[in-house]
Amino acid sequence: MDGLRYDRLTRSPANAPVLHGLMAAGAVGTSLLPYGGADGRAEHGPSAGMAYTDSGPGWSSILTGVWPDRHGVRGNDFVGADYARYPDFLTRAAAARPGLRTAAAVSWPQLVRRGTLGPAIGRRRRYNGEFRGYRTADRRVARAALRWLTRHDPDVVFVYFGATDEAGHDSGPLSPAYDRALLAQDAHLGQLLEAIEARRSDPARADEHWTVLVTTDHGHLDTGGHGGDSPAERQVFVILAESGRPAGTILDSPRLIDIAPTVLDRLGIPLDPAWGLQGRVLPRPTPPTSDRS
């Protein structure tokens, strides 16, 4: 969910009941994107790189598992992108396990046009939120993903919603329009989760184990907009929901670059050091203890 400020998400369950339910039943944590200091070095050391608070760098980091110093994207022009060396996690998964069914639907078409989501992905749908408005494009994204989950058997699905970012730019994240955009995205997510639950009730799919990850690429200033170094722009979050996890778990500073390795881990794909991923795998649920041996 693009440009979603964590404090606006968490201020009231009524703002986003589905997301609040995921957080209560699963795990959630926040972190700050690393930024460049006066000497040009990153806050967390030169290996961390600067994570510019724009969507091109943000979604590139989410999908590739590396910071801009490796994937090369430092702005929304995508100049310098090195997706050949650092492809998205759906592409990596399909290469590691041929036959995996991968799908992605986005309302920001640049993620497909610029190659952030690579052509090796089995199904790619892009809808133009810039032209049609993001609320309309997000609805089409949700319908596409819902169709895949109900009529097909995808193994990995990536879904992007952009209306919160659009509202943040137009009227700021403190506005009623921003709240409405968040509520609409929350409802879309609810539809997808209901489709997953319906799959679980099908005896033919009883062995499926779904992991749901929700994140954002950056925040917003109170007045709207991003691209700077303020905490309001740099704070991001990760919500992780999967069976067997204790309710209300707090994740320890999850980062955008942790998404890709976590997805690959949950698919049973070993991480190859040659890939150069900078993220870490978010912890799996701890098995319950038993007095039986």
The predicted pLDDT at position 38 comes to 36
Give, in order, the Cα–Cα distances in Å from 84 to each of 52, 116, 222, 239, 260: 21, 10, 37, 29, 16
Beta bridge partners of 235: 32
The whole-number average pLDDT for the span 237-260 is: 95
| Residue 285 maps to a domain | no
Q: Is the pLDDT of residue 292 over 50?
A: no
Structurally, how many domains does the chain consist of? 1
| Residue 292 maps to a domain | no
Give one DSSP letter per residue of 175-203, joined into a string. Answer: SHHHHHHHHHHHHHHHHHHHHHHHHHTSG
Q: Is the pLDDT of residue 20 over 80?
A: yes
The predicted pLDDT at position 147 comes to 97
| Residue 171 maps to a domain | yes
Radius of gyration of the chain (CA): 18
CA atoms within 13 A on the CB side of 273: 0
Give the tens place of pLDDT for each residue, 122-161.
Answer: 999 999 999 989 999 999 999 999 999 999 999 999 999 9
| Residue 156 maps to a domain | yes
The whole-number average pLDDT for the span 58-63 is: 98
> What CATH number is given to the structural domain containing 36?
3.40.720.10
Contacts 24+ apart (CB under 8 A), 198-205: 198/150, 199/149, 205/153
User: What is the residue range of 66's domain?
Assistant: 6-275
| Residue 234 maps to a domain | yes
Task: Share the mean pLDDT of the chain.
Answer: 92
The whole-number average pLDDT for the span 174-194 is: 98
| Residue 114 maps to a domain | yes
| Residue 288 maps to a domain | no
| Residue 22 maps to a domain | yes
